[in-house]
Amino acid sequence: MAKSTYVYVTYIRTSPEKLWSALTDEKFIEQYWFGMRCESQWTAGSSWKMVSGDGQVFDAGEIVEAEPPKRLVIRWQHQNKPELKAEGDSLCTMELEPSGPAVKLSITHTIEREPSKFIEAVSGGWPKVLSNLKSLLETGSTALADPYPTGNPYGRRSHPTENVHSGKE
């Protein structure tokens, strides 16, 4: 079966332990993910969900693999937009690898279908979320306050191929 894949790699000046904590701490996640939070026990087999500030579940799934502070795999299904939910489960793999004074963070998001509107959507969201994560860990503040700044040529709402869960949709 054909599959769609999105890969994002960045280097963050931090330790693997601090990055793992940033990826799994509900309150810290809210700071860089535009008010969204991830709820989970962060162990293999535990449920996982991404929830907006007003309590709306945008994504849900389960932790497939958790190897702190090296690897996290989430079975992930979008819940909010019917056309994205209909595509089924995706798999998001986060790999953390020490690299001198930094950590190489690799995100690989795949789904067993091609083409995929869901992978198109996350390809617009991950760069914004991970830029905020990197900035927050390295400087103490995020790079972007709003996932859809007024300079967006597509207006307040995202382009059809771009979707960041801001809780403001």
C-alpha gyration radius of the chain? 15
Q: What is the pLDDT of residue 11?
A: 98
What is the rounded CA–CA span in Å between residue 118 and residue 100?
34
What is the rounded CA–CA span in Å between residue 85 and residue 81?
6
Q: What is the pLDDT of residue 94?
A: 98
pLDDT in tens, 68-88: 999 999 999 999 999 999 999
Q: What is the pLDDT of residue 149?
A: 65
The CATH code for residues 4-139 is 3.30.530.20
With residue 85 as reference, give the H or E element that holds it: helix 82-85
Give the residue extent of every domain in the chain: 4-139
* Regions of the chain short of the pLDDT cut 50: 152-169
How far CA 6 is from CA of 16, 79, 88, 94, in Å, comes to: 22, 19, 16, 12
Quote the pTM value: 0.85
